[in-house]
Amino acid sequence: MPYLIEAVLFLSPFALYALWLRLNPGRAVAAHLIALALLGLVIAIGGAVWYGLARGMDPKAAYVPPRVTADGIVPGHVEPSRRPGAWPPAPLPAPPPPHQGAQPR
């Protein structure tokens, strides 16, 4: 079913243009409609570029794929680079818990 919806959404502009040609034989497309179509194309390409830049990860960062452990499934994640001077800096590891050994008497 999703493929049918995608096909309809893809083919609908072509069908609308064919319908317009059928109802208006011999008339050229108005210049303002062509300008609006080009403006929409520029906005769509700009939005795709912006989205790709906003969602990209640091090229020096490492992707850790999901894995199965004894506790369950650990989801995949990106670990920031550990090189000195990297920005943003990698978080410091948590300090170890205090020693819970035997108390001296």
Q: Mean pLDDT over all residues of the chain?
A: 83
At CA 16, angle to CA 30 and CA 12, rounded to 5?
A: 130
Q: What pLDDT is stored for residue 17 in this prediction?
A: 87
**80 in Cβ contact with 64 (< 8 Å):** no
- pLDDT exceeds 80 at position 105: no
Q: What pLDDT is stored for residue 78 in this prediction?
A: 87
**What average pLDDT does this structure show over 48-63?**
85
